[in-house]
Amino acid sequence: MTSVVLQANEEPERAQHGAGQGFSAKGHGEGGPADRRIIVGYGFWVFLLSDVIMFASLFAAFAVLSTATAGGPSGRELFDLRTVAVETGCLLASSFVCGMASLAVQQRSQKWTQIALFFTGLLGLIFILLEIHEFARLVARGAGPTRSAFLSSFFTLVGCHGLHVTAGLLWLGTMMAQFWAKGFRQSIRYRFLCFSLFWHALDIIWVAIFSLVYLVGVST
């Protein structure tokens, strides 16, 4: 109901504000300050890059320790590429459906936004469940994080990505609730812009994990 009140109070005179109409930033400060949408995206992008740098240090630790198996099992014996392929497919499809959700938000379609976000979350959930299943299988056969430095760094790196996806799922749920309860307000669209950047960035990190941890681990 609040959104109805807000709609009534809105002023239509926004064309007087800084930027040239219909254009966003032209560079070199022309046409006034950049869109707030651009600035929000940039700020979150800087956060994401710092997150990627944290993952880079975990990757560095894994790369250094990948041969330190302490007489225990190596990646070649442990990794099941079929599970990894399904996980990869889930996350990639989830990222694609999240892109569809952002188009639905642009079109202001509540129905398609909710449907696309639901499937984004469902695919993410399948990914997480597969990963938990894989971790449980490794721990059950005595290849838990305490077995060797290689496995400690493996669980830290892949588990950290899994925690990011879990946090993303909680964020996704709150975004669905906010779109449902409050409609396509500008502030909520900015939050969703940040969420979609986060979700796509997690997929990029997964590309590095499945390539450099699983595929290279199996081939060497």
Q: Which stretch binds other proteins (CB under 8 A): 117-125, 141-149, 157-165, 211-219?
A: 211-219
CA–CA dist 153, 68 (Å, integer): 10
- Work out the angle between the directed axes of helices 149-182 and 36-65 (0-180°, nearest 10): 160
- Position 111 contacts other proteins (CB under 8 A): yes
Sign of the torsion angle spanned by Cα atoms 140, 138, 165, 180: negative
- Position 140 contacts other proteins (CB under 8 A): no
From residue 56, alpha-carbon distances to 14, 38, 75, 113 in Å are 43, 26, 20, 33
The nearest distance, CB 159 to other proteins, in angstroms, is 19
The nearest distance, CB 167 to other proteins, in angstroms, is 19
* Radius of gyration over every alpha carbon of the chain, rounded to an integer in angstroms: 22
> How many binding residues for other proteins (CB under 8 A)?
83
The nearest distance, CB 104 to other proteins, in angstroms, is 10
Q: Which stretch binds other proteins (CB under 8 A): 125-133, 140-148, 157-165, 193-201?
A: 193-201
Binding to other proteins, residues 39-98 (CB under 8 A): 39, 41-42, 45-46, 49-50, 52-53, 56-57, 59-61, 63-64, 81, 85, 88-89, 92-93, 95-96
Contacts with 25 (C-beta within 8 Å, 6 or more apart), sequence order: 19, 31, 34, 35, 38
